Amino acid sequence: MPDFHVEKSIEINVPSDTVYQFIRDFGNWRIWSPWLILEPEAKVEVKPGGKEYSWEGKRTGSGSMKILRETPQRMDMTVTFLKPWKSTSSVWFDIKPKGSGTELVWCMDSSLPFFLFFMKKMMTAYIGMDYTRGLTMLKDYLETGSVPSRLTFKGITTYPGCEYVGIRTTCTLETVGPSMKADFDTLGIWMKSHNSLVSGIPFSIYHKWDLVKNKIVYTSAIPVKEIPKDLPAGAIGGNLPAMKLNTVSHTGSYKHLGNAWSAQYNMHQAKVFKPKKGVDPFETYVSMPGTVPDNDLVTEIHFPVRD
């Protein structure tokens, strides 16, 4: 059986006992679970005492989780998956005081069915991403009392198509934020002298998102009525066709935007929609940073679908 290990950590600015008391009650997990946010309608049952938990969803599969041993420094659990395939994993938290706060480490030791050996690196990367999403939501909740991330599943929508001026960039997951900001700063300067050409809200097309190789290729773009000849340095002209989309809207800080993308990939894998080949997914910025508070930013994630 192909074994794999996942380990992610985060610093939380609350005392370690507060973290421990919160995570040891599975009744609190719906607030910050990186999986339940993908399918809010999934059935969840927490047994009295909060030490055993089970879930069943159409897209997130089914299984159960149980706390085996716990101390204020470590909590050991077993997770049993029933769908999409049967497996059992060892999961634990290391809870480490750090100054007046806490370093929380979330770990998993698991394995794949032999016939899925080729997915080992991919599973490690994707579960690692899930853990990071969950820890980020947990940190926000414990520090502020809320998680600024809300998903609206809009279903099938339509896009009229457009021509655009954009900048294509290759970066890593860690640098995508500042890279995209720099690209939109460049486009924004150009747009001030070409405002009459702008015909819609900005967007970014994701051509490649490889978590295993940590490589992202995207184009940040401004829709225009026509592509001018005097493009800014490093910019390109292009077009998006008119098409149908599966759309998930995210309200909240960009640091939680992975929740919306993960929801789309989850629906894709569950065959909720049939993807349209040859057209990359993209996100549109209904509101931009600086125009509303970060927690009120609205971003729509679109996956092209077949007619």
Per-residue pLDDT of the chain (307 residues; tens, 9 = 90+): 578 899 999 999 999 999 999 999 999 999 999 999 999 999 999 999 999 999 999 999 999 999 999 999 999 999 998 887 778 899 999 999 999 999 999 999 987 666 555 556 777 888 999 999 999 999 999 999 999 999 999 999 999 999 999 999 999 989 999 999 999 999 999 988 899 999 999 999 999 999 888 999 999 999 999 999 889 889 999 999 999 999 999 999 999 999 999 999 999 999 999 999 999 999 999 998 889 999 999 999 999 999 8
Q: Of the candidates 132, 147, 162, which is a domain's last residue?
A: 147
Same domain, 159 and 299: yes
d(CA 94, CA 50): 19
Same domain, 143 and 161: no
Number of domains in the chain: 2
Same domain, 129 and 235: no
Q: What pLDDT does 294 receive?
A: 94
d(CA 239, CA 99): 52
Say which CATH number the domain at 80 has: 3.30.530.20
Domain that holds residue 128: 3-147
Q: Of the candidates 91, 117, 147, which is a domain's last residue?
A: 147
Same domain, 119 and 86: yes
Q: What pLDDT does 29 receive?
A: 94
d(CA 187, CA 94): 45
Same domain, 9 and 95: yes
Q: Of the candidates 147, 167, 194, which is a domain's last residue?
A: 147
